[in-house]
Amino acid sequence: MPEISALRKYEVEMGDRMKNVYVIDHPLVQHKLALIRDENTGAKEFRELVEEVAMLMAYEVTRFLPLEEVEIRTPIGPCKAKMIAGKKLGVVPILRAGLGMVNGLLKLIPAAKVGHIGLYRDPDTLSPVEYYCKLPADVQERELIILDPMLATGGSATMAVDLLKRKGANSIKLMCLIASPEGIEALHSKHPDVDIYTAAVDERLNDHGYIVPGLGDAGDRLFGTK
């Protein structure tokens, strides 16, 4: 069985090329990710955990948001406080599996608009095929966070970024639960401006393009399909 702890070494070996990858190693995220990976975790618990981890990761992904000073009154008296300075956010799940992360983000950033990109991987070529796209009209003004639990070959994430950039998007991040080294390399080589936030960088892909050890098929586990 592959050792998850060996993955840190890979991060070091990647050196400079890992500089736009943020591995969220908070104990709560890692604990919940272990439960998500477990083959004995059923669909209900899997869905709840994916949403919870997405919410915890949102805390880090939104760290870049600028603050502005505001004046408010507490019950005791006047107070200068800080609030987020009007950045417009958008979350863009890649269907289907990205849907499992949406509510986690919306719990923390309820004003975010939600776009949807429908892609599936052709089982033979492993290349993504687009079947749906609906984005906020002002996508070029928004800080966009693409949501997809799995960055495997990187084909789907790269196609999603291509599509968003074609629509004029200027600021894009990717949030996933598990990334493969191959997926990071593929996305980073085409879109080095896209920061990748992940809870883990796993060992490799297998011959079917699945992440090893990964968590299996994220869409199937979320929605109980096979």
> Which residue from 160, 102, 101, 91 is spatially nearest to 131, judged by alpha carbons?
160
Residue 210 lies near ligand URA (rule: CB under 6 A): yes
Known catalytic membership, residue 217? yes
Residue 36 lies near ligand PRP (rule: CB under 6 A): no
Known catalytic membership, residue 220? yes
Listed ranges 13-21, 45-53, 119-127, 130-138: which one lies at the site for ligand PRP (CB under 6 A): 119-127
| 176-205 binders of ligand PRP (CB under 6 A) | 183
Residue 120 lies near ligand PRP (rule: CB under 6 A): yes
Name the closest residue to ligand PRP (Cβ): 219
Alpha helix positions (H), the chain: 7-14, 27-37, 43-61, 99-108, 155-166, 181-190, 218-223
Contacts of 125 (CB under 8 A, 6+ apart): none
Dist. CA 182–CA 162, nearest whole Å: 18
Confirm or deny that 209 is annotated as ligand binding: no
Exactly one of 146, 150, 159, 176 binds ligand URA (CB under 6 A); which one? 150
Confirm or deny that 5 is annotated as ligand binding: no
Distance (Å) of CA 206 to CA 76, 182, 212, 218: 61, 11, 6, 16
Active-site positions? 121, 125, 217, 220
Residue positions in the annotated binding site for 5-phospho-alpha-D-ribose 1-diphosphate?
96, 121, 148-156, 217
